[in-house]
Amino acid sequence: DCPWPEPLTVLTAVAAVTTALRLCTGILIAPLRPATLLAKTAATLDVLSDCRLELGVGTGWQQEEFDAQGLDASARGQLLTDTIGACRALWGTSPATFSSGSVSFADIWCHPRPVAPAGPPVLFSGTLTPRNVRRIVELGDGWIPIMGERPPGVADGVALLTKALADAGRDPAALRVRAHLPLIRGDSG
């Protein structure tokens, strides 16, 4: 019963009245959106905001959202991978072609193009299961730990991702991590 406004609409409004703020979703439930529409919407917002968009994406948890879209909630991890893979293809060369278990298209043009050639940075949320590590290494730019993750857990996750990125030939120094900092009240000594 909380008011959860649609995040890309809110960020568009913020982009219209700011020039320097980073515009970050946290978390956009990407599997609930058609990949071609998400790619176009994100690219448009990226252009309108002069490359300030950063997509934090996740699988979601609410069964009813997937039911309403006619999607299998138990396949939400693969749906997330397929959706972002399709977006990456659409943000690349045109016309784009992509085929996976849940998203397929051929010879699609997606314009405007995002400002950066690879598209806006994509950070995957969640625990670092082997599948999520692979998703981050293959399709992502970073990680958003589960809310409440303590600094030692974040540090362990960064070490794991740094090694996985290096093993895949990617620059570990480019890893983005967006974690909540613990709130300390009063004298911290």
pLDDT bin (cut points 50, 70, 90) of residue 189 is low
- The pLDDT of 164-189, averaged and rounded, is 88
Rounded to whole angstroms, the Cα distance separating 69 from 96 reads 25
Q: What is the pTM of this model?
A: 0.92
Q: 135-152, pLDDT tens digit by residue?
A: 999 999 999 999 889 999
Q: 50-59, pLDDT tens digit by residue?
A: 999 999 999 9
pLDDT above 60 (res 35): yes
Helix axes 130-139, 151-167, angle to 10 degrees: 60
- Identify the CA nearest to 85 among candidates 67, 101, 65: 101
Identity at 160, one-letter amino acid code: L
pLDDT above 80 (res 68): yes
109 Cβ neighbours under 8 A, 6+ residues apart: 94, 95, 96
* β-strand pairing of 142-144 with 104-108: unpaired
Residue 87: the pLDDT is: 98
Rounded to whole angstroms, the Cα distance separating 96 from 13 reads 29
Mean pLDDT, rounded, of the chain? 94
